[in-house]
Amino acid sequence: MKLSVVLLSALMSLLLLSKAAVATEDVPAIAAASSIKFALDDVAEQFQQDTGRKVRITYGSSGNFVAQIKHGAPFELFLSADERYTNQLTSAGQTQGKGTVYAVGKLALAAPKTSPLALDENLDGLKQLIDAQKLKRFAIANPEHAPYGERAKEVLQHLGLWQTIQPQLIFGENVSQAAQFALSGSTQGGLIALSLASAERFKRRANYVVIPQSLYSPLKQRMVLTLKAKQTANEFYHYIQTDKAQHIFAEYGFGKAVN
């Protein structure tokens, strides 16, 4: 019993110490669409090198972030996968201005290297697999709240595959999870963000082809500062618009930002 008392008081004092150690630095919490994970991680690292300032980035689905910010989440900057979501916050009066488009997202069809799915930009390989009833599982992000999921649905609808593919679809909570499903080998492929498919970690496991942008409405990825934004968040917001940061986004296959 004595031992546990000692242990407990040691832990308690550690806790108090750690509380004191966390200074009230300006390290803003930032919400970002999971589609820009790899690109934004690079941008944030570059930002830290150039300015010495840090940011804390949380990745997830844009729809969830809107709900969380509406309930008071402390995010200072929100980088959405689609401007529809930032606009919702703007019209609810929860942002500083309308923000700006920082990149244009693209879709890719991806499949594990062992998959029987033949990759082509008009999804003929997918059609054949469905017709031959050989498609087992196909991943997309949840179209209910993830923009890349919505666009994937548009593509499948456009090509007349949406109804027939239903039983085989599995939904990722966000596009990153969909990508993880698509490459895990438990699915035969998926429609995911080009920025994820072209990332180094993904390329080792899977092949991909870019989907023509005529098949879905453009993914204008907009960012906004929330009412809670302080100086570092503001600086990061402007840094993302610099040529240096934009170049990183382009490397990950994003289209040029057009407002």
Partner 1 sequence: MDWQALWLSIKLSTVTVVILVPMAILAGRFLAYRQFRGKSWVEALVMVPLVLPPTVIGYYLLVGLGSESWLGQMLEQLLGHQLVFNFSGLVVASILVNIPFAIQPIQRAFEAVPEDVRDAAACCGMSRTKALFKIELPMVWPGVLTAMVLVFSHVLGEFGVVLMMGGNIAGETKTIAISIYDSVQAFDFASAGNMSLVLLLFAITVLALTTSLSRRVGGQHVSSRR
Say which residue the tokens 């689905």 belong to. Answer: 61
Tell whether residue 115 is a contact of partner 1 (CB under 8 A).
no
Residue 114 DSSP symbol: T
- The secondary structure of residue 117, as a DSSP letter, is P
Q: Is position 134 an interface residue for partner 1 (rule: CB under 8 A)?
A: no
Supply the minimum distance, in Å, between the C-beta of residue 65 and partner 1: 9
Q: Is residue 186 involved in binding partner 1 (CB under 8 A)?
A: no
Regarding 253 and contact with partner 1 (CB under 8 A), the answer is no
Is residue 118 within 8 Å of residue 112, measured between CB atoms? no
Return the range that interacts with partner 1 (CB under 8 A); candidates 10-18, 42-50, 120-128, 209-217. 10-18
37 belongs to the binding site for partner 1 (CB under 8 A): yes
Smallest separation, CB 201 to partner 1 (Å): 4
Cα-based distances in Å from 59 to 51, 79, 105, 125, 140:
23, 9, 16, 32, 17
Quick check: 11 binds partner 1 (CB under 8 A)?
yes
Give min distance, CB of 215 to partner 1, in A: 26
Query: What string of DSSP letters covers 6-56?
Result: HHHHHHHHHHHHHHHHS------EEEEEGGGHHHHHHHHHHHHHHH----E
Site residues (CB under 8 A) for partner 1, limited to 47-76: 56-60, 68, 70-75
Q: Which helix (H) or strand (E) holds 171?
A: strand 169-172
Q: Is 29 in the site for partner 1 (CB under 8 A)?
A: yes
Tell me if 198 contacts partner 1 by CB under 8 A.
no
When binding is defined by CB under 8 A, the residue of 118, 159, 161, 199 that contacts partner 1 is: 199
Residue with tokens 């087992």: 136
Q: What element of type H or E holds 110? A: strand 107-112
Q: Which CB sits closer to partner 1, 18 or 166?
A: 18
Which of 36, 183, 197, 257: binder of partner 1 (CB under 8 A)?
A: 183
- Cβ proximity of 134 and 164 under 8 Å: no
Of 43, 89, 33, which Cα lies nearest the Cα of 221? 33
As measured in angstroms, the least distance from the Cβ of 59 to partner 1 is: 7
Query: Does 174 engage in binding with partner 1 (CB under 8 A)?
Result: yes
Residue 170 interacting with partner 1 (CB under 8 A) = no
Distance of CA 217 to the CA centre of its chain: 18
- Tell me the closest approach of the beta carbon of residue 22 to partner 1, in angstroms: 7
Nearest C-alpha neighbor of 62 from the set 41, 90, 86, 98: 86
CA–CA dist 223, 99 (Å, integer): 5
Residue 168 is a binding residue for partner 1 (CB under 8 A) = no
In the complex, which residues of this chain contact partner 1 (CB under 8 A)? 1, 3-4, 8, 11-12, 15, 18, 22, 27, 29, 34, 37-38, 56-60, 68, 70-75, 174, 176-177, 179-180, 183, 199, 201-202, 205
